[in-house]
Structure 1
Amino acid sequence: MWMSNESNRDVSSIFRNPWKQNVSNLEKMRSDLKEIVHTELFLNRRNVKKSQKFKYMIPGGSLTTNLRFYKLMQEYSPEQTVYKRCSIVGNGGILNGSKCGSEIDKADFVIRCNAPPIIGQFIEDAGVKSNITTLNPSIVIKRFGSLRTGSQQSKFINKMKEYNNYIWFPSFSSGLGIYNLAIKVNNLLNGKLKSIKFVHGNPNHFHEIRSYWLNKGLKNMLSTGIYITTSSLLFCDEIHLYGFWPFSTDIHNRPAAYHYYEDMKRTTYHAFNQEFDELLNLHINGVLQLHVKDC
């Protein structure tokens, strides 16, 4: 789907006309989501008991929290505020040379996916503002050795200094090992950094969002990008997506790296093409705006 040069030309035709928000369509989708989603993006002391059982985000197993975990949580979730304009930044190579950084940063609320580099050479294209930055466990495991040594921990702390406000972690994604890693990261950041707050992703919220998309035919595990984008529809009045592009060429048929900061093998774990199809439909219907060209 959408992978050939001919398909890319089909996609590019959609972006020739100026985008216009359709508030009625946005409110309709928000209403549909609210029928299914009754929880918050973050676990916090107002929505979690001192001992509570959670099913993992990846089906198979559950875990019961304890008082130690309860004390680590924040008091409330930031999505209780409704923001006028939100930028959600994926990591697609189409950000390279886009000069979209200042446009991204002018949003009232900026969400970045999977702790990408944003300082130095990347600021002009990706911006620097961050209100929520998601952190995949695989990043901590592969890039920082699960924080086993002091040098790995120092390297991780220096990396986290790029961000502000909230670091979101799927602490209940897939087992006790990830849960214990979440607590380790939480304790480390609490002791070393005051500029950010570590927050635990709510698995019940994830299951509710996934249920919405299962009804739409998305059978694969949701990517962080579409999950966070869908969540933001509940607390953002105008949503702009940057760096969401799953293809090896851009709309001008120029090569596009998988990530704007590195080129790596494209994963098949998530249904990125199908997810992009859904986001494209939301763009067409004025629910959100996909930015796929230079700014």
Structure 2
Amino acid sequence: YSPTWKKQDDNFNRFRSQLTSRCDGFHKAIISQANTPLGTRLIYDGEKKKSIQINKDLFNTFLKGNPFSNKSLDTCAVVGNGGILANSSCGEAIDSAQFVIRCNLPPLENDYRKHVGNRTDIVTANPSIFMEKYGGLMGRRRPFVESLNVYGNSMLLIPAFSYGHNTPLSMRAFYSIEDFRSPIRPIFFNPEYLQKLAMFWRSQGLRAVRLSTGLIMASLALEVCNNVHLFGFWPFSNHPYGLAPLMNHYYDDRQTKKKFHAMPGVVHLHLGQCPPPKRPLKPFNAINPLTPTD
């Protein structure tokens, strides 16, 4: 991990070109009224024998256009929830990125802010969270909506069309947010994009049954950002420096499936503590960044 990380422009441009030609996440990762017209039949990416036809009610929940600007973003921080972020002092570095992506509704308040920041442009939410924490939104919905306040007016990205049971849950989340006039903006993954992205990674040798949220968001960031920085991605139980034991997440030790995906010289994976950035991330040189190898 000791060499200073250096972006390899040829690798970056080649990888981005492959992703764009195979997946086109810039235009197709998020469902919109432009890329998914009324009457479209969507095939669930997790249940390929199941589909849903887009009626007027569903269509009206979609974005009218592309959530990304026509111009590539300069710097993006994709923030995982790994225990390596605990006591990292990376909050300021994360918040200095032009665009910040977070995964699975992580806690940002109180003591966490110094280490993980609080700026958010996109935060993902697995519908299983709506079941586990909020009773499937079948009862009181205010606690769910109020829990989103920490993310401000960011986009809330939900895989509403990955499995059939996700759709009604996701619609209840959408309408709860609308009813309580929350500033957060629900958007939905396009299952066609997720299928194409899974095929792309299989062609790269990845044999996972399902892509992790972190890998999906890092892949999307590579298409929409010129410099991609990863924080909170370290799939081992010990810190790379000093070998201190780590919790699975920076906020708890709940175990999940662990995978590691290498993109040498393409994404900047930050490890160790982060010094205060002297300027916004372009590029930001963290202490002891990692250049993965195949």
- TM-score bin, normalised by smaller chain: 0.7 to 0.9
* In 2, Cα distance between equivalents of 1:163 and 1:44: 22
- Candidates 130, 138, 143, aligned match of 2:120: 130
Aligned residues of 2:41 and 2:52 also touching (Cα < 8 A) = yes
1:146 and 2:136 are equivalent in the alignment: yes
Equivalenced residue count is 267
- How far apart are 1:21 and its partner, in Å? 1.1
- Candidates 134, 138, 143, aligned match of 1:155: 143
* In 1, Cα distance between equivalents of 2:227 and 2:248: 26
The 10-residue stretch of structure 1 (40-49 or 107-116) with the greater mean CA deviation from structure 2: 40-49
Which residue of the partner structure matches residue 4 of structure 1?
none
* In 1, Cα distance between equivalents of 2:181 and 2:8: 41
Which residue of the partner structure matches residue 3 of structure 1?
none
Which residue of the partner structure matches residue 189 of structure 2?
201
Which residue of the partner structure matches residue 186 of structure 1?
174
* In 1, Cα distance between equivalents of 2:39 and 2:160: 15
- How far apart are 1:294 and its partner, in Å? 1.1
Aligned residues of 1:209 and 1:231 also touching (Cα < 8 A) = no
- How far apart are 1:163 and its partner, in Å? 0.6
Which residue of the partner structure matches residue 67 of structure 2?
78
Which residue of the partner structure matches residue 93 of structure 1?
83
SS of the equivalent of 1:133 reads: strand
Residue identity opposite 2:61 in structure 1 = L
CA deviation profile, 1:44-99 (whole Å, cap 9, x unmatched): 11111111111112143222221100011111232344110000000000100001
- How far apart are 1:194 and its partner, in Å? 4.1
- How far apart are 1:174 and its partner, in Å? 1.1
Which residue of the partner structure matches residue 66 of structure 1?
55
Residue identity opposite 2:22 in structure 1 = I
1:293 and 2:279 are equivalent in the alignment: no
Aligned residues of 1:41 and 1:77 also touching (Cα < 8 A) = no
CA deviation profile, 1:12-41 (whole Å, cap 9, x unmatched): xxx211111112211101111122113522
**Structure 1 runs, 4 residues or longer, greater than 3 Å off:** none
- How far apart are 1:154 and its partner, in Å? 1.4
CA deviation profile, 1:178-213 (whole Å, cap 9, x unmatched): 101111111111222342110011111111111110
Which residue of the partner structure matches residue 15 of structure 2?
29
Residue identity opposite 1:138 in structure 2 = S
* In 2, Cα distance between equivalents of 1:21 and 1:206: 27
SS of the equivalent of 2:42 reads: strand
Aligned residues of 1:141 and 1:147 also touching (Cα < 8 A) = yes
TM-score (norm 2): 0.88
TM-score (norm 1): 0.87
Q: How high is the sequence identity, in percent, across the aligned residues?
A: 30
Unaligned ranges ≥5, structure 1: 1-14
* In 1, Cα distance between equivalents of 2:111 and 2:61: 35
Aligned residues of 2:74 and 2:98 also touching (Cα < 8 A) = yes
C-alpha root-mean-square deviation of aligned residues, in Å? 1.3
SS of the equivalent of 2:225 reads: coil
- How far apart are 1:267 and its partner, in Å? 2.6
* In 2, Cα distance between equivalents of 1:118 and 1:52: 38
Which residue of the partner structure matches residue 219 of structure 1?
207
Q: Say if 1:247 and 1:193 are closer, same or farther in 2 by CA, change over 3 A.
A: farther
SS of the equivalent of 1:167 reads: strand
- Candidates 203, 207, 226, aligned match of 1:237: 226
Which residue of the partner structure matches residue 158 of structure 2?
169
CA deviation profile, 1:116-143 (whole Å, cap 9, x unmatched): 0011111001000000000011111101
Aligned residues of 2:142 and 2:180 also touching (Cα < 8 A) = no
Unaligned ranges ≥5, structure 2: 275-294
SS of the equivalent of 2:151 reads: coil
